[in-house]
Structure 1
Amino acid sequence: MHRVVVTGTGVISALGNNASSFWQSMISGTSGIREITSVDVSQLRFKNGAEVLNYVPEEHFALRDIDMMDRFAQFAVVAAREAIAEAGIEWTPELRETTAIVTGSCLGGRSAEESGYWELFHNGKNRVHPYTIPLGMSNAGTSHISMQFGIEGPAYNISTACASSAHAIGDAFWMVRSGVAPMAIAGGSEAPFLLGGLKAWEAMRVVSKDTCRPFSAERSGLVLGEGAAMLVLETLEAALARGARPLAEIVGFGMSADAAHITQPVTKGPVRAMRMALRDANLAPEQIGYINAHGTATEANDRIETAAIRDTFGTHADKLAVSSTKSMHGHALGAAGALEAVASILSLRHGILPPTANFLTADAACNLDVIPNRARATAVEACLSNSFAFGGLNAVLAFKSLG
């Protein structure tokens, strides 16, 4: 079994279009939540989202490539490019043949599908764009990363709602640790700002009309976000041998199913996933100093996650710092776990814990140290990143500082 480290991160999000700006915005407590501009929101009960700003596809891709890439797939490639550049990878034929790509996206290319349906059902057209299928498929981000870098190893996409990219990173970690692949590109991407999709979320009555306030007594629901985050995972020995700078070590992964309800969370599944991640990492609960929470700011999720953390950690829960960065970058669905993994890694790297932004009043049902509103300069040995999805599918990643 190999030790596995993260040597590169890439991000495009409402908090910035690279990992550095993402991190700086996060530790300053900046919220990327604002009125949605890419969609006419006059028909919606909610107006706000966490959109990627100042993104011009032509600055990243040739026109012929843009025609074959939905927005979510473009985001995936942009984030992968940054992660690979930071890792300083020098591709050899053997490395290209064996490197894995594992991505997460629960929606895929919905914009291509929605525009096609609009032409069919509203404009009365008899055909859709000839590339609707390759534009819409959820594995398109995986495939475009593969083609961009000539990577020919195991490559696939995972779609498990908002646990998608956490599952992807966990799978990739296990592949590298076991020796199945010497290196992996892993993460997720999502672009959910489409009228049809937003109306579907509106119908669920879980989206806030103002902002995202995880764990706050005034919380009123989630706020959707978009973007992508990618990691480069490789063995510690390989990273050190080529002079790479590891950012953090990924040491454990746990996953479970609630087997309870399609949308309502329960404590038992998250508890099992957190305990499995600790066992997989060979970490004692007392070694965890921070948890990047799933923290959606819905009434049920925050209350259940708090109870699950207390069940898992017992009295140590009183010493844990817990925050939800969704309060700043929004809930990016299939990309959420990857964005939060990068936040966790950079927290360990810099010894700064990001805040839960927009926090107003403590809720007795969420009685944790949620790092309200201001980042905290605290070095911790290890942390967890929680992702708990609709369908009762849970994924927890464990990271450790390299000192």
Structure 2
Amino acid sequence: MSVQDRSNVRTPDGCNRVVITGTGAISPAGVGVEALWQAVMEARCCIGPLTRFPSDSFDVKIAGEIPAYDPLALGLTKKEAHRLARFVQYAFIASDEAWAQAGIAIENEDATRIGCVFGSGIGGLEAFEQGSVTLNTKGPKRVIPLFIPTVISNMAAGNLSIRFGLKGECTNIVTACATGTHCIGAAYRSIKHGYLDAALAGGTEESVTPVSLAGFSNLGALTKPADPHAASVPFDKRRSGFVAGEGAGAVVLESLDHARARGAHIIAEIVGFGSTGDAYHMTAPEPDGEGLVRAMRLALEEGGFGPEDIGHLNAHGTSTPANDKAEAQALIGLCGKGCEVPVVSIKGSTGHMLGGAGAVEAIVCARSVVEGVVPATTGFSEPDPACPVRVLREPLRDYSQKVALSNSLGFGGHNASLAIAPYCG
């Protein structure tokens, strides 16, 4: 099957084609994919003053919080709102939207063939902080019995599988800020190679907590400006660090055969996935992006594409000096000097959702290729000679694309890249 001929349900090597049939999100833009999409297309900054806790003693005064978050109003029960950590709650809300859009009736399926691959980079930070305070002020007997299953990061996947009755593979890929992309990539591979027929996949994070902001700030990773519009500015010469964001992104993936058999509406197709390691540094990316180049090339080649076919790059683009420079160098390393591939980072709108970022960005990437647009990068205004790539100030419209890449990088040298294409039946 060539790039042009995608009429079969299998790839040339006999593997399953994998399609997206549902998407869901909760982000600083609000609840739902539509709220996210509108904010990104309008280049609207959804970052604001910290309200979750007093910030007088903190250098950082802003964050990408979920606006007016009320779990009960969003469909969670009182028990769920009380017992589940925020990162699991966010995963529920995003997944409810994705699952409803996909329209899978689990009672009509072999539940052992439907999996859940859903991760969090850190897990239940808020409950961990509260438990630590209780331990040190009231003693070990007062720590809640459900402390451990509240905070551990696999509980998003575990509780989602219970919620939807998914009895196939249930895993939690943790690769820091690349978690969401790696979870989608792992689910893609399980379906492609026939271990699953479908899967719920994504990432979630509750990173706006005191210890999180203190740790990232003391590391020098967070930006200090109090003006939200001057804070998260990916690839811009003024960039000085990322803004902590929170939220979740969820996708429902299916083999094309399975989706067609049940008459599903197909949103887009995942045609490749690349995953590599830098073997370089605990927190810094490899300066010339060699590992990311390999990840992007692997994703493209798996789908039968080359660098010349890339419609746009949905970049990791955290707004940190080292990350953006390395990612720009990686794109040039893939496509050559004078690269004109349009680049967008949505973190100017949302901040950095850590383990949830890659999943939310994959959703935006998929919608971009389907609608033939490329969003602008919110906050970008001063090009940096160290990042000589085509970052957009205005959205591209009526822009047909064969394939796009969605990148994520994580502490530890984790690189992940998804190749996403419009579905051609």
Aligned match of 1:55: 69
Shift of 1:35: 0.8
Residue type matched to 2:266 in 1? P
Give 1:205's aligned residue.
Answer: 220
Where do 1:111-122 residues align within 5 Å? 111-122=126-137
- Contact kept? 1:341, 1:385, Cα under 8 Å: yes
Report what 1:401 is aligned to: 422
Give CA deviations for 1:150-172 in whole Å, capped at 9, x if unaligned.
Answer: 11111011111001111100010
Cα distance in 1 between the residues matched to 2:31 and 2:278: 35
Provide structure 2 residue ranges, at least 5 long, that are not aligned to the other structure: 1-14, 226-230
1:277 pairs with one of 281, 299, 309: 299
Matched residue, 1:77: 92
Query: Given residue 264 of structure 1, which amino acid in structure 2 is its aligned partner?
Result: A
| Residues 161-202 of structure 1 deviation map (CA, whole Å, 9 limit, x = unaligned) | 001111100010011111110001000000011111211111
Q: 1:130 aligns with which of 145, 158, 173?
A: 145
Range with greater deviation from structure 2 (52-61 or 199-208): 52-61
Match of 2:357 in 1: 336
> Which residue matches 2:406?
385
Q: Matched residues, percent identical?
A: 39
Q: CA deviation at 1:92?
A: 2.8
How far off is 1:124 after superposition? Answer: 5.7
Give distance in 2, aligned partners of 1:71 and 1:151. 21
- Displacement of 1:121 after TM fit? 2.2
Give the match's secondary structure for 2:293: helix
Q: Distance in 1 between matches of 2:68 and 2:265?
A: 30
Once superposed, what is the RMSD of the aligned Cα atoms? 1.4
Q: C-alpha distance in 1, partners of 2:146/2:134?
A: 14
8 A contact 2:115–2:161 mirrored in 1: no
> Residues 198-219 of structure 1: CA distance to partner in whole angstroms, max 9, x if unpaired?
1111111121123101111111
Correspondent of 1:256 among 258, 276, 290:
276
Residue 262 of structure 1 deviates from its aligned partner by 0.7
- Alignment of 1:296 with 2:318, yes or no, is yes
Could you tell me which amino acid in structure 2 is paired with residue 399 of structure 1?
I
Alignment of 1:25-174 (within 5 A): 25-59=39-73, 60-92=75-107, 94-122=109-137, 126-174=141-189
State whether residues 278 and 291 of structure 2, in contact with CA within 8 Å, keep that contact through their aligned partners in structure 1. Answer: yes
Is contact 1:68-1:134 (8 Å) kept?
no
- Structure 1 gaps of 5+ residues are none
Distance across 2 between alignment mates of 1:33 and 1:371? 20
Partner letter of residue 406 of structure 2? S
Deviation at 1:122, TM superposition (A): 4.3
Residues 32 and 94 of structure 2 are in contact (CA less than 8 Å); yes or no, is this contact kept in structure 1? yes
Q: CA deviation at 1:96?
A: 1.8
Q: Which residue, 218, 229, 237 being the options, matches 2:249?
A: 229
State the secondary structure of the residue aligned to 2:336: helix
Which structure 1 residue ranges, 4+ long, deviate > 6 Å from structure 2?
none
* TM-score, normalised with respect to structure 2: 0.92
The count of corresponding residues between Structure 1 and Structure 2 is 401
Q: Within 1, Cα distance between the matches of 2:96 and 2:111?
A: 15
SS in 2 for 1:54: coil
Q: Is contact 2:216–2:222 with CA below 8 Å preserved after alignment?
A: yes
Q: Deviations over 1:231-251 (max 9, x none)?
A: 000012222232211111000
Question: Which SS does the other structure have where 2:272 is aligned?
Answer: strand
Which stretch has the larger CA shift, 236-245 or 384-393? 236-245
Is 1:240–2:260 an aligned residue pair? yes
Q: Is the 8 A contact 2:117 2:183 kept in 1?
A: yes
Match of 1:16 in 2: 30
Name the CA distance, whole Å, in 1 between partners of 2:345 and 2:165. Answer: 36
CA distance in 2, matches of 1:165, 1:122: 36
Cα drift, residue 17 of structure 1: 0.5
Within the alignment, does 1:363 sit opposite 2:420 as a pair?
Answer: no
Report the AA paired with residue 390 of structure 2. Answer: D
Separation in 1 of the partners of 2:370 and 2:214? Answer: 39
